[in-house]
Amino acid sequence: MAHPSTGVDAQTRPAADVAAVRLEHVTKRFGDTLAVDGIDLEVRQGEFFSILGPSGSGKTTCLRMIAGFEAPTSGTIRLRGRDVTRLAPYERDVNTVFQDYALFPHMTVAENVEYGLRVKKIARPERESRRREALARVRLEGFERRNPAQLSGGQRQRVALARALVNQPSLLLLDEPLGALDLKLRQEMQLFLKRVQKEVGITFIYVTHDQEEALTMSDRIAVVDHGRIEQVGTPIEVYERPATEFVAGFIGTSNIIEREGRRITIRPEKIRLLGQDEDTAPGAHVERGVIREVVYVGMVTRYVVDLDDGGELVAIRQNFEGAEEALGSHGQRIRLAWRPDQSSLVGRRPEDAEGGEEG
Protein backbone atom coordinates (compact mmCIF):
# COMPACT_ATOMS: atom_id res chain seq x y z
CA MET A 1 0.00 0.00 0.00
CA ALA A 2 1.37 3.43 -0.92
CA HIS A 3 1.98 5.91 1.85
CA PRO A 4 -0.54 8.78 1.40
CA SER A 5 1.96 11.64 1.68
CA THR A 6 5.03 10.25 -0.07
CA GLY A 7 3.76 7.67 -2.54
CA VAL A 8 6.42 5.24 -1.27
CA ASP A 9 5.32 1.67 -0.73
CA ALA A 10 5.14 0.93 3.01
CA GLN A 11 7.09 -2.31 2.61
CA THR A 12 9.98 -0.53 0.85
CA ARG A 13 10.33 2.40 3.24
CA PRO A 14 13.58 2.26 5.24
CA ALA A 15 13.51 1.42 8.91
CA ALA A 16 13.30 4.37 11.29
CA ASP A 17 16.84 3.70 12.56
CA VAL A 18 18.38 4.04 9.07
CA ALA A 19 20.28 7.33 8.81
CA ALA A 20 18.66 10.03 6.69
CA VAL A 21 22.11 10.89 5.31
CA ARG A 22 25.44 9.15 5.63
CA LEU A 23 28.74 10.42 4.22
CA GLU A 24 31.47 7.78 4.17
CA HIS A 25 35.06 9.01 3.70
CA VAL A 26 33.86 11.74 1.33
CA THR A 27 36.53 13.88 -0.34
CA LYS A 28 36.14 16.67 -2.89
CA ARG A 29 38.94 18.30 -4.86
CA PHE A 30 38.73 21.25 -7.21
CA GLY A 31 42.01 20.97 -9.07
CA ASP A 32 44.73 21.30 -6.45
CA THR A 33 42.29 22.57 -3.80
CA LEU A 34 41.06 20.07 -1.22
CA ALA A 35 37.60 21.38 -0.31
CA VAL A 36 36.36 18.37 1.69
CA ASP A 37 38.87 16.09 3.38
CA GLY A 38 37.61 12.55 4.02
CA ILE A 39 34.45 13.42 5.96
CA ASP A 40 32.39 10.78 7.80
CA LEU A 41 29.00 12.07 8.91
CA GLU A 42 25.60 10.67 9.86
CA VAL A 43 22.37 12.68 10.02
CA ARG A 44 19.40 11.05 11.74
CA GLN A 45 15.92 10.95 10.29
CA GLY A 46 13.70 13.82 11.35
CA GLU A 47 16.39 15.98 12.93
CA PHE A 48 17.34 19.59 12.31
CA PHE A 49 21.05 19.26 11.59
CA SER A 50 23.35 22.22 10.94
CA ILE A 51 26.73 22.30 9.23
CA LEU A 52 28.53 25.28 10.74
CA GLY A 53 31.80 26.82 9.65
CA PRO A 54 33.52 29.91 8.26
CA SER A 55 33.70 30.84 4.58
CA GLY A 56 35.80 28.33 2.68
CA SER A 57 35.40 25.58 5.28
CA GLY A 58 33.73 23.14 2.87
CA LYS A 59 30.23 23.28 4.34
CA THR A 60 28.42 24.36 1.15
CA THR A 61 30.41 21.83 -0.89
CA CYS A 62 29.13 19.10 1.46
CA LEU A 63 25.56 20.29 0.93
CA ARG A 64 25.97 20.40 -2.86
CA MET A 65 27.29 16.85 -2.88
CA ILE A 66 24.32 15.64 -0.83
CA ALA A 67 22.00 17.43 -3.28
CA GLY A 68 23.81 15.97 -6.30
CA PHE A 69 25.03 19.29 -7.72
CA GLU A 70 28.63 18.18 -7.15
CA ALA A 71 30.09 14.67 -7.36
CA PRO A 72 32.59 13.62 -4.69
CA THR A 73 36.13 12.87 -5.80
CA SER A 74 35.99 9.80 -3.58
CA GLY A 75 33.74 8.31 -0.94
CA THR A 76 30.07 7.32 -0.73
CA ILE A 77 26.87 9.29 -0.08
CA ARG A 78 23.82 7.39 1.15
CA LEU A 79 20.30 8.75 1.57
CA ARG A 80 18.15 6.53 3.81
CA GLY A 81 20.53 3.64 3.12
CA ARG A 82 20.54 4.08 -0.67
CA ASP A 83 23.81 4.81 -2.46
CA VAL A 84 23.17 8.02 -4.42
CA THR A 85 26.80 9.00 -4.98
CA ARG A 86 26.50 9.07 -8.78
CA LEU A 87 22.80 9.90 -9.12
CA ALA A 88 21.56 13.18 -10.61
CA PRO A 89 19.74 15.68 -8.34
CA TYR A 90 16.32 14.80 -9.79
CA GLU A 91 16.91 11.14 -8.89
CA ARG A 92 17.22 11.97 -5.18
CA ASP A 93 14.29 12.61 -2.83
CA VAL A 94 15.78 15.99 -1.91
CA ASN A 95 14.89 19.67 -2.28
CA THR A 96 17.14 22.70 -1.71
CA VAL A 97 16.37 26.23 -0.50
CA PHE A 98 18.99 28.83 -1.45
CA GLN A 99 19.95 32.21 0.00
CA ASP A 100 18.83 34.06 -3.16
CA TYR A 101 15.39 32.30 -3.08
CA ALA A 102 15.65 31.41 -6.85
CA LEU A 103 11.99 32.38 -7.45
CA PHE A 104 10.75 33.00 -10.97
CA PRO A 105 10.03 36.75 -11.11
CA HIS A 106 7.44 36.44 -13.91
CA MET A 107 5.36 33.88 -12.00
CA THR A 108 2.89 34.46 -9.18
CA VAL A 109 3.39 32.95 -5.75
CA ALA A 110 0.97 30.14 -6.64
CA GLU A 111 2.78 29.40 -9.90
CA ASN A 112 6.17 29.38 -8.18
CA VAL A 113 4.99 26.96 -5.51
CA GLU A 114 3.33 24.65 -8.05
CA TYR A 115 6.22 24.68 -10.51
CA GLY A 116 7.83 21.41 -9.38
CA LEU A 117 4.46 19.65 -9.36
CA ARG A 118 3.81 20.81 -12.92
CA VAL A 119 7.17 19.40 -14.03
CA LYS A 120 6.17 16.08 -12.45
CA LYS A 121 2.83 16.30 -14.28
CA ILE A 122 0.79 16.13 -11.07
CA ALA A 123 -2.93 16.54 -11.78
CA ARG A 124 -4.35 20.03 -11.22
CA PRO A 125 -6.64 19.21 -8.26
CA GLU A 126 -3.76 17.65 -6.31
CA ARG A 127 -1.43 20.49 -7.30
CA GLU A 128 -3.83 23.08 -5.94
CA SER A 129 -4.49 21.10 -2.76
CA ARG A 130 -0.78 20.66 -2.03
CA ARG A 131 -0.06 24.29 -2.87
CA ARG A 132 -2.76 25.50 -0.44
CA GLU A 133 -1.38 23.22 2.27
CA ALA A 134 2.21 24.39 1.70
CA LEU A 135 1.29 28.11 1.76
CA ALA A 136 -0.77 27.60 4.90
CA ARG A 137 2.22 25.85 6.46
CA VAL A 138 4.39 28.95 5.88
CA ARG A 139 1.59 31.38 6.88
CA LEU A 140 1.09 32.86 3.39
CA GLU A 141 -2.57 32.17 2.73
CA GLY A 142 -4.02 34.85 0.47
CA PHE A 143 -0.70 35.66 -1.25
CA GLU A 144 -1.25 33.35 -4.24
CA ARG A 145 -1.71 36.08 -6.88
CA ARG A 146 1.20 38.27 -5.86
CA ASN A 147 4.50 38.37 -7.71
CA PRO A 148 7.84 37.98 -5.87
CA ALA A 149 8.57 41.71 -6.36
CA GLN A 150 5.52 42.53 -4.23
CA LEU A 151 6.83 40.54 -1.25
CA SER A 152 9.25 41.33 1.56
CA GLY A 153 12.48 39.39 1.90
CA GLY A 154 11.03 37.20 4.63
CA GLN A 155 7.92 36.49 2.56
CA ARG A 156 10.01 35.54 -0.48
CA GLN A 157 12.01 33.16 1.67
CA ARG A 158 8.79 31.54 2.90
CA VAL A 159 7.60 31.11 -0.69
CA ALA A 160 10.88 29.36 -1.48
CA LEU A 161 10.32 27.13 1.55
CA ALA A 162 6.74 26.35 0.46
CA ARG A 163 7.97 25.46 -3.04
CA ALA A 164 10.38 22.97 -1.49
CA LEU A 165 7.88 21.51 0.98
CA VAL A 166 5.14 21.05 -1.63
CA ASN A 167 7.21 18.27 -3.23
CA GLN A 168 7.13 16.36 0.08
CA PRO A 169 10.84 15.44 0.05
CA SER A 170 12.35 13.19 2.69
CA LEU A 171 15.25 15.65 3.03
CA LEU A 172 15.39 19.44 2.79
CA LEU A 173 18.73 21.20 2.32
CA LEU A 174 19.01 24.88 3.23
CA ASP A 175 22.07 26.85 2.09
CA GLU A 176 22.40 30.00 4.26
CA PRO A 177 18.74 30.85 3.47
CA LEU A 178 18.51 33.73 5.96
CA GLY A 179 21.77 35.47 5.05
CA ALA A 180 20.11 38.29 3.08
CA LEU A 181 17.67 39.26 5.85
CA ASP A 182 18.16 41.92 8.50
CA LEU A 183 18.95 40.81 12.06
CA LYS A 184 15.44 41.09 13.55
CA LEU A 185 13.79 39.28 10.65
CA ARG A 186 16.53 36.66 10.62
CA GLN A 187 15.90 35.90 14.28
CA GLU A 188 12.16 35.61 13.67
CA MET A 189 12.74 33.28 10.70
CA GLN A 190 15.06 31.07 12.76
CA LEU A 191 12.23 30.26 15.17
CA PHE A 192 9.77 29.97 12.29
CA LEU A 193 11.93 27.45 10.39
CA LYS A 194 12.45 25.36 13.51
CA ARG A 195 8.69 25.29 14.15
CA VAL A 196 7.92 24.29 10.55
CA GLN A 197 10.53 21.53 10.66
CA LYS A 198 8.94 20.06 13.78
CA GLU A 199 5.48 20.27 12.21
CA VAL A 200 6.36 18.50 8.95
CA GLY A 201 8.88 16.05 10.44
CA ILE A 202 11.22 16.29 7.44
CA THR A 203 14.98 16.03 7.97
CA PHE A 204 16.57 19.48 7.56
CA ILE A 205 20.27 20.01 6.85
CA TYR A 206 21.08 23.67 7.33
CA VAL A 207 24.35 25.31 6.27
CA THR A 208 25.41 28.50 8.04
CA HIS A 209 28.43 30.50 9.18
CA ASP A 210 26.38 32.08 12.00
CA GLN A 211 27.06 30.26 15.28
CA GLU A 212 24.09 31.83 17.09
CA GLU A 213 21.81 30.68 14.28
CA ALA A 214 23.11 27.12 14.56
CA LEU A 215 22.78 27.08 18.34
CA THR A 216 19.22 28.44 18.17
CA MET A 217 17.82 26.04 15.60
CA SER A 218 19.69 22.76 15.64
CA ASP A 219 19.16 19.38 17.23
CA ARG A 220 22.82 18.68 16.42
CA ILE A 221 25.66 20.61 14.79
CA ALA A 222 28.72 19.58 12.77
CA VAL A 223 31.44 22.23 13.11
CA VAL A 224 33.75 22.18 10.07
CA ASP A 225 36.99 23.91 9.16
CA HIS A 226 39.38 23.40 6.24
CA GLY A 227 37.22 20.59 4.89
CA ARG A 228 37.30 18.55 8.11
CA ILE A 229 34.81 17.95 10.90
CA GLU A 230 36.05 19.41 14.17
CA GLN A 231 33.14 18.23 16.32
CA VAL A 232 29.59 16.90 16.08
CA GLY A 233 27.19 17.33 18.98
CA THR A 234 24.14 19.04 20.40
CA PRO A 235 24.28 22.84 20.79
CA ILE A 236 24.96 22.37 24.51
CA GLU A 237 27.76 19.87 23.85
CA VAL A 238 29.65 21.97 21.29
CA TYR A 239 29.30 25.13 23.39
CA GLU A 240 29.93 23.70 26.85
CA ARG A 241 32.44 21.03 25.81
CA PRO A 242 34.33 22.24 22.70
CA ALA A 243 36.63 19.46 21.46
CA THR A 244 39.22 21.69 19.77
CA GLU A 245 40.60 25.21 19.96
CA PHE A 246 38.81 26.06 16.73
CA VAL A 247 35.39 25.07 18.10
CA ALA A 248 36.04 26.95 21.34
CA GLY A 249 36.92 30.13 19.46
CA PHE A 250 34.42 29.91 16.61
CA ILE A 251 31.33 29.19 18.70
CA GLY A 252 30.96 32.11 21.06
CA THR A 253 33.93 33.47 22.99
CA SER A 254 36.28 31.26 24.94
CA ASN A 255 39.57 31.55 26.80
CA ILE A 256 42.44 29.13 26.28
CA ILE A 257 45.32 28.91 28.73
CA GLU A 258 48.10 26.35 29.07
CA ARG A 259 48.88 24.85 32.45
CA GLU A 260 51.28 21.92 33.08
CA GLY A 261 51.37 21.09 29.37
CA ARG A 262 47.59 20.92 29.03
CA ARG A 263 45.46 23.38 27.11
CA ILE A 264 42.32 24.42 28.98
CA THR A 265 39.28 26.28 27.61
CA ILE A 266 36.85 28.20 29.80
CA ARG A 267 33.94 30.46 28.77
CA PRO A 268 34.05 34.06 30.13
CA GLU A 269 30.62 33.76 31.76
CA LYS A 270 31.77 30.74 33.81
CA ILE A 271 34.51 32.72 35.54
CA ARG A 272 33.83 34.29 38.91
CA LEU A 273 35.73 37.47 39.72
CA LEU A 274 36.86 37.69 43.33
CA GLY A 275 38.40 40.34 45.50
CA GLN A 276 41.69 39.50 47.23
CA ASP A 277 39.97 38.53 50.50
CA GLU A 278 36.85 36.88 49.08
CA ASP A 279 36.38 33.16 49.76
CA THR A 280 36.47 30.58 46.97
CA ALA A 281 34.34 27.46 46.72
CA PRO A 282 36.04 24.21 47.76
CA GLY A 283 37.89 22.61 44.83
CA ALA A 284 37.70 25.69 42.60
CA HIS A 285 40.49 26.41 40.14
CA VAL A 286 41.95 29.84 40.95
CA GLU A 287 44.08 32.17 38.84
CA ARG A 288 45.59 35.46 39.96
CA GLY A 289 46.41 38.46 37.86
CA VAL A 290 46.13 42.16 37.09
CA ILE A 291 43.22 43.82 35.28
CA ARG A 292 44.43 45.22 31.96
CA GLU A 293 41.12 46.41 30.51
CA VAL A 294 37.61 47.12 31.77
CA VAL A 295 34.95 47.49 29.05
CA TYR A 296 31.34 48.43 29.80
CA VAL A 297 28.99 46.91 27.17
CA GLY A 298 25.54 47.51 28.67
CA MET A 299 24.27 44.28 30.18
CA VAL A 300 27.77 43.19 31.20
CA THR A 301 31.21 44.56 32.00
CA ARG A 302 34.10 42.75 30.33
CA TYR A 303 37.45 42.33 32.12
CA VAL A 304 40.74 41.38 30.47
CA VAL A 305 43.19 40.05 33.05
CA ASP A 306 46.91 39.36 32.62
CA LEU A 307 47.65 36.23 34.64
CA ASP A 308 50.58 35.78 37.00
CA ASP A 309 51.27 32.30 35.59
CA GLY A 310 51.17 33.43 31.97
CA GLY A 311 48.43 34.10 29.45
CA GLU A 312 45.27 36.15 29.85
CA LEU A 313 41.63 35.58 30.66
CA VAL A 314 38.52 37.46 29.58
CA ALA A 315 35.72 37.39 32.14
CA ILE A 316 32.34 39.08 32.21
CA ARG A 317 30.18 40.28 35.04
CA GLN A 318 26.50 41.07 34.68
CA ASN A 319 25.61 44.62 35.66
CA PHE A 320 22.87 43.77 38.13
CA GLU A 321 23.49 46.89 40.16
CA GLY A 322 24.76 49.20 37.40
CA ALA A 323 28.18 50.20 36.12
CA GLU A 324 29.02 52.10 39.26
CA GLU A 325 29.19 48.74 41.07
CA ALA A 326 31.99 47.49 38.80
CA LEU A 327 34.27 45.13 40.71
CA GLY A 328 37.65 46.36 39.57
CA SER A 329 39.59 48.91 37.56
CA HIS A 330 42.69 49.05 35.39
CA GLY A 331 45.82 47.90 37.22
CA GLN A 332 43.98 46.30 40.12
CA ARG A 333 44.99 42.84 41.31
CA ILE A 334 42.21 40.27 41.17
CA ARG A 335 41.48 36.56 41.49
CA LEU A 336 39.45 34.51 39.03
CA ALA A 337 37.85 31.19 39.93
CA TRP A 338 35.76 28.47 38.32
CA ARG A 339 34.66 24.93 38.99
CA PRO A 340 36.83 22.35 37.17
CA ASP A 341 33.73 20.81 35.56
CA GLN A 342 33.06 24.14 33.80
CA SER A 343 36.25 23.93 31.75
CA SER A 344 37.55 21.46 29.17
CA LEU A 345 40.82 20.14 27.82
CA VAL A 346 41.21 20.82 24.11
CA GLY A 347 43.50 19.86 21.25
CA ARG A 348 44.47 21.90 18.23
CA ARG A 349 42.94 19.31 15.88
CA PRO A 350 40.12 16.76 16.46
CA GLU A 351 42.57 13.87 16.77
CA ASP A 352 44.51 15.80 19.42
CA ALA A 353 41.50 16.48 21.66
CA GLU A 354 41.74 14.75 25.00
CA GLY A 355 38.20 15.73 25.95
CA GLY A 356 36.89 15.56 29.47
CA GLU A 357 37.06 18.08 32.25
CA GLU A 358 39.97 20.03 33.57
CA GLY A 359 41.20 19.11 36.99
Per-residue pLDDT tens digits for 179-234: 878 888 888 889 989 999 998 999 999 999 999 999 999 999 999 999 999 999 99
Q: Is residue 10 part of a domain?
A: no
Q: Is the same domain home to 34 and 131?
A: yes
Domain with 289 in it: what CATH number? 2.40.50.100
Q: Round the average pLDDT of the chain to a whole number and report it.
A: 88
Range of the domain at 326: 267-352
129 and 226 in a single domain? The answer is: yes
In angstroms, how far is CA 58 from the centroid of its own chain? Answer: 14
Q: How confident is the model at residue 13 (pLDDT cuts 50, 70, 90)?
A: very low
Regarding whether 340 and 236 lie in a shared domain, the answer is: no
> How does residue 4 score in pLDDT terms, banded at 50, 70 and 90?
very low
Please state the pTM of the whole predicted model. Answer: 0.85
pLDDT digits (tens, 9 = 90+) for 39-73: 999 999 999 999 999 999 999 999 999 999 999 99
Q: Does 172 fall in a domain? A: yes
Q: Are residues 176 and 122 in the same domain?
A: yes
Is 185 domain-assigned? yes
The secondary structure of 126-187 as a DSSP string is HHHHHHHHHHHHTT-TT-TT--GGGS-HHHHHHHHHHHHHTT--SEEEEESTTTTS-HHHHH
Q: How confident is the model at residue 7 (pLDDT cuts 50, 70, 90)?
A: very low
Residue 30 and residue 145 in one domain: yes
Q: Is 347 within the bounds of a domain? A: yes
- Whether residue 115 contacts residue 179, with contact meaning beta carbons closer than 8 Å, is answered with no
Residue 74 and residue 203 in one domain: yes
Residue 35 domain-assigned?
yes
Domain contains 13: no
Domain co-membership, 151 together with 227: yes
> Residues 124-139: pLDDT tens digits?
999 999 999 999 988 8
Considering the domain architecture, whether residues 234 and 281 belong to the same structural domain is answered as no
Same domain assignment for residues 52 and 103? yes
Is residue 359 domain-resident?
Answer: no
Max avg pLDDT among 80-94, 95-109, 187-201, 268-282: 80-94
How many domains does the chain divide into?
Answer: 2
